[in-house]
Structure formats: C-alpha cells, structure tokens
C-alpha cells in the first residue's frame, strides 16, 4: 500500500481561547505564545496510515502545503513512523483558498504517482472547512469517503466505517481512493525516541510550483475562487454569577436556589 497523507501546519487549536488574537488588517489569526502544530485531524490521518502500514506494509508519504513550515512541526508524522515528507513550500502557493490548496495538493499527488490511498483530516482546525479531501478526489477522479472512523484493506478494496449522527455506515470502496479521517479512528501515537532520531535523518523534499506543473491561474492567490472580506472575533457579553458558599455543597445548594429564583427551573 502506498499511502499519501496530507497534513497542514496550523496555529495551536487547543491553546486557551484567551490567547487567540486577530490581526484584522491582514485577516490573520495567531495563538499568542503557543507554537504552531500539525492540524489535529491531519494527525489522526497519519495515525490511520500507520495502522494500515502495520497491518499490510507499505510506504507513507506525507504532503504539506504552506509557507514558513517549521521543520520540527512538519516532521512530526515522520517521527510517528511515516517514510517520506514532501513540502509544497513557496511564496507562490501563498494567499490561496481551499480551491487553490486542493488543486496544488492534487497536482503534487499526481506528480508523485503510484498511490493506492490518499488520506486527509475531516477538517482542518483553522478553516473548519472539510473540503480538501473531496476536492482532491474530484480533481484526480477518485472515489472518496468522508468522516472515516475505521479502515480495513483487503483484495484491492477498502471496507470503511463512516461516522454519521446516529452511528455509522459500513462502506466498500475500490482503490485507489481518498478518505477523510475522523477522531474515532483512535488517538494518534506519540513519536518514539527512535522515531525522532529517524526523522532527523530524513530531508524533506521541496516541490516548487514548476515541479508539480500547475498552471499559474490555479496557483495561490491567482487560483482563488473566494475572498475573505473580514475576520473577526465574536464577543461574548455577560458575566458569570458564581454561587457563594463555604463548602462545595453549600455553593451547590445556592446555585440550585439561584436557578429557581431566576425562574430558569
């Protein structure tokens, strides 16, 4: 099995919401004081690929598109056990949207060739879009199952479970295919010391736009189909009234009384 996993470098989504700041002029956000991470659902996708590799063997290629990619961040999948890292890193990829990102990733996957399975996260923690997997599948003409929680491979086919709001569907899909991975797949493993040492020795391959043969009209800002007009932080007004008391039990009783007084119950 040759597996391509797409992961993205993002600001840390698990940092306390109080450290979230917006640069309104640039329509950009940051987590003050927290270093970037690879996007959590991308990490679940890496975990899924490692499970398949353990069961069936194969090679895992990680792809990441972005600028200012910190090597210690984007190399994490290698430290977890992936084999190869391809970075689409160039200013020209910058300023794009979901459309240009998916186009470039699809072109890079095409150039790499020889793939059986492509994995993405169900949604990136910054865009909260959940479109890249389906988009890559469309460009490459492949079937795609989204929101996958379990993957079994046999006889050139996949048997996957797709999460839905009432449970899950069991779906059969031929290879090659694209899947987007959900957290039910299982907690991503921690890199081992051995893995970290191995990752140190792997040099990422960097592909510029010319390397993947993407037309200028589909690249970065020129390939955009959407425009972000504004980025803002919704304000939460109102204050929390904390129940008083000398013990937790007393506070609990006071909370109950308060709710009754406020006619909430």
Partner 1 sequence: MSDYKGIAVYCEAKGDKLLPIAAEGLGIGRKLADNLGQELAAVLVGSNIGGLAQQAIAGGANKVYVVDDPLLKDYQTDAYVSVMEKVVKQVKPQVIIMGQTDAGRDLAPRLAFRLGTAVTMDCVDLAIDPDSKRLLQTKPVYGGNAQAVITTETDPQIVTIRTKAMAALEPDASRKGEIINIAAGLEASSIRTKILDRVIEEVAGMKIEDAQVVVAGGRGIGSAEGFKQLEELAKVLKGAVGASRPPCDNGWVPDTVQIGLTGKIIAPELYIAVAVSGSSQHMSGCSGSKTIIAINKDREANIFRQARFGVVGDWKKVLPAFTAKLRELLAS
Ligand X SMILES: Cc1cc2nc3c(=O)[nH]c(=O)nc-3n(C[C@H](O)[C@H](O)[C@H](O)COP(=O)(O)OP(=O)(O)OC[C@H]3O[C@@H](n4cnc5c(N)ncnc54)[C@H](O)[C@@H]3O)c2cc1C
User: Among residue numbers 161 through 200, which ones bind ligand AMP (CB under 6 A)?
Assistant: none
Q: Which stretch, 22-30, 64-72, 211-219, 252-260, contacts ligand AMP (CB under 6 A)?
A: 64-72
Instruction: Collect all residues with Cβ–Cβ distance below 8 Å to 5 and sequence separation of at least 6.
Output: 42, 45, 46, 49, 60, 61, 62, 63, 77, 82, 118, 119, 120
35 binds partner 1 (CB under 8 A): no
| Residue number with CB closer to ligand X (61 or 125) | 125
Give 36-101 as a DSSP string.
-EE-HHHHHHHHHHHHHHHHH--EEEEEEEESS--HHHHTHHHHHT--EEEEEE-GGGTT--HHHH
Q: Which is nearer to ligand X, 25 or 166 (CB)?
A: 166
Please give the Cα distance from 14 to 89 (Å, whole number). Answer: 25
Nearer to ligand X, 11 or 108 (CB): 11
Task: Select the residue interacting with partner 1 from 166, 193, 210, 217 (CB under 8 A).
Answer: 166
Q: Is 172 in the site for partner 1 (CB under 8 A)?
A: yes
Smaller CB separation from partner 1, 188 or 191: 188
The token duo for 68 is 């200012």
What is the spatial distance between Cα 221 and Cα 241, in angstroms, rounded to a whole number? 47
Q: What is the closest distance, in whole angstroms, from the C-beta atom of residue 41 to ligand X in the complex?
A: 6
Q: Please say which residue, 216 or 252, places its beta carbon nearer to partner 1.
A: 252
Mark 175-191 as b/e (b = at least 16 C-beta within 10 Å): ebbbbbbbbebeebeeb
Q: How far is CA 159 from CA 140, 162, 206, in A?
A: 21, 10, 33
**Nearer of residues 205 and 244 to ligand AMP, judged by Cβ:** 205
Map the footprint of ligand AMP across residues 2-61, applying CB under 6 A.
Answer: 6-8, 39, 41-42, 45
Instruction: Identify whether 87 is preceded by a cis peptide bond (ω within 30 of 0).
Output: no
Told to check if 228 binds partner 1 by CB under 8 A, we report: yes
Q: Which of 144, 148, 214, 219 binds partner 1 (CB under 8 A)?
A: 144
Q: Report in angstroms how near the CB of residue 42 gets to ligand X at its nearest.
A: 10
* Binding positions for ligand AMP, rule: CB under 6 A: 6-8, 39, 41-42, 45, 63-66, 98, 101, 105, 120-121, 123-124, 127, 129-133
């Amino acid at each position: 099995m040759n597996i391509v996993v797409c992961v993205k470098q993002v600001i840390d989504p698990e940092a306390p919401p109080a450290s979230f700041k917006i640069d309104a002029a640039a329509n950009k956000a940051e987590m003050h004081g927290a270093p970037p991470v690879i996007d959590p659902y991308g990490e679940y996708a890496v975990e899924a690929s490692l499970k398949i590799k353990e069961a069936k063997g194969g090679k895992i290629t990680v792809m990441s598109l972005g600028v200012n990619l910190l090597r210690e961040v984007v190399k994490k999948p290698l430290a977890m056990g992936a084999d190869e890292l391809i970075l689409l890193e160039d200013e020209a990829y910058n300023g794009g949207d979901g459309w240009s990102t998916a186009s470039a990733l699809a072109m890079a996957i095409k150039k790499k060739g020889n793939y059986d399975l492509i994995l993405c996260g169900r949604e990136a923690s910054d865009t909260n879009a959940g479109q890249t997997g389906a988009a890559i599948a469309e460009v490459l003409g492949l079937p795609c199952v989204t929101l996958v929680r379990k993957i079994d491979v046999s006889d050139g086919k996949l048997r996957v479970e797709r999460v839905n709001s009432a449970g899950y569907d069991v779906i059969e899909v031929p290879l090659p295919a694209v899947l987007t991975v959900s957290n039910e797949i299982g907690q991503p493993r921690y890199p081992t010391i051995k893995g970290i040492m191995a990752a140190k020795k792997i040099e990422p391959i960097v592909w510029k736009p010319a390397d993947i043969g993407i037309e200028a009209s589909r690249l970065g800002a020129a390939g955009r189909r959407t425009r972000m007009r504004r980025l803002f932080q919704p304000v939460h007004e109102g204050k929390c009234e904390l129940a008083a008391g000398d013990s937790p039990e007393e506070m609990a009783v006071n909370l109950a009384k308060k709710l009754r007084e406020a006619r909430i119950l």
